[in-house]
Every structure is written in structure tokens, then in C-alpha cells.
Structure 1
Amino acid sequence: MLESNLKAVNDDVKKLTKDAQALFQAAAELSGEKADEMRNRGMRLLDRAVLTAQDAQASVRVAGKQMADSAESYVKENPWGALVTAAGIGFLLGVIITKK
């Protein structure tokens, strides 16, 4: 779920950025009040893109902290299980590395 949300936010930010770039390019060809209006619109789009990216970053931080807390509580509740799991992963990585 988090990955799909991040992909959607990433797509939104890219779209907003492209729209703002197009507005700035069009504004460069114009002069006067119309150009100012387009530049202001472009700046608003970029501001929205930045806010969207910041919101996504905050969501990722919260999700990462929750996952870390969950892992920490699992290790505290099951220290031997965590040790065996880590040893098994280390063993498998060692086998994979030595095969290459």
C-alpha cells in the first residue's frame, strides 16, 4: 500500500513539475501582464509539487519509524528467533557470494 501511494505521489510531483515548466516556457515568449500571470501560476504549481513531496517524505518517515519499532519489538520478544533468522540470512548470502 505504501509503495503504491509513493508511486502516485511521485507521478503527481512529476506532472506538476512538467506543467510548471511548460508554463514558464510559455511565459518566456509573452510579456507584460499575461507573462506575470503565467509565471505566478507556474510558481503555485511548483509550490504544490514541493508540498506534495514534503508530505510524502513525512509519510515515509512515519512508516519507516513504525517498521523499525515493529522490528525492534519483535527482536525483544523473540531474541533467539531473530538470531537464527539473521544467521540463516548471513549463511545464504555467504553461499551466494562464494558461488560467484
Structure 2
Amino acid sequence: MANTNPLSSNSDQLINEFKALVRDTESLLQHSASLAGEQAEELRNQIRGSLGRARSTLHNAEDALHERGKAAIQATEGYVQTHPWQTLGIAAAIGLLLGMLISRR
């Protein structure tokens, strides 16, 4: 089954990008003593590219999370506006349950 959750997809991409960044950084550290000139510059460019991709993926994940948050807020506000008494009852019930749980301790 295909993954339809854009936030999960962005999270997976972000994790993969950071793993690649860590691998590239480890490679640079291991070879930095023996590399000189063009080889060292090539590794640095690879790391810069990995870092750029990771930043881009992080930005995309942040945007997707922000959009999901906005949608959740709008849905909650819409429900509260159309069902004010039920919302008040639910809030009172949750408060009562939490009060009972806290008083047991």
C-alpha cells in the first residue's frame, strides 16, 4: 500500500538525508588526513550538497507540519462553533476525569 501521508514521507526523506550527511561527514573525517587538493574539495562539495538537501527536506517537512496544524485548528474551530454544548460537555468530562485521577494520588 502506498504511503499517502505527506508528513511521514517528508520525515522519511529527512531521516535519509541526515543519514547521508552523517555518512559523508564520517567519510570526510576518515580521509581528511590522506586527501589533499582536489579530492578534499570534492568531498567537501558532496557534504555541502547533502547538507543542502537535508535543509530543503527539513524545510518541506516543516511546511507540511505547519499546514497540518492549520487544518487541525480550522477543523477544531469549526466543530466548536457548530457544536458548542457538546464541546462544553466533553471539556467538562475530561476535566472531571483528570480531577479524579489527580485526587487518587
Q: What are the ranges of 5 or more consecutive residues in structure 1 without an aligned counterpart?
A: none
Alpha carbons 2:10, 2:57 under 8 Å: kept = no
Cα deviation, residue 16, structure 1 = 2.7
Task: Name 1:48's counterpart in structure 2.
Answer: 53
Task: Name 2:79's counterpart in structure 1.
Answer: 74
Could you say which structure has the higher helix fraction?
Answer: 1
Instruction: Confirm whether residue 95 of structure 1 aligns to residue 104 of structure 2.
Output: no
Alpha carbons 2:7, 2:64 under 8 Å: kept = no
Q: Which runs of 4+ in 1 moved over 4 A?
A: none
Cα deviation, residue 9, structure 1 = 3.6
Per mean C-alpha deviation after superposition, the further-off stretch among 29-38 and 11-20 is: 11-20
Cα deviation, residue 72, structure 1 = 0.3
Task: Name 1:28's counterpart in structure 2.
Answer: 32
Per mean C-alpha deviation after superposition, the further-off stretch among 15-24 and 4-13 is: 4-13
Distance 2:7 2:41 in 1: 38
Cα deviation, residue 38, structure 1 = 0.6
Identical-pair percentage: 30
The TM-score with structure 1 as length reference comes to 0.86
Q: Which amino acid in 1 is paired with 2:74?
A: D
Distance 1:6 1:90 in 2: 36
Bigger RCO (CA 8 Å, 6+ sep): 2
Secondary structure of the corresponding residue to residue 31 of structure 1: coil
Aligned-residue RMSD, C-alpha: 1.8
Per mean C-alpha deviation after superposition, the further-off stretch among 24-33 and 59-68 is: 24-33
Aligned residue pairs, count: 100
Q: Which amino acid in 2 is paired with 1:87?
A: A
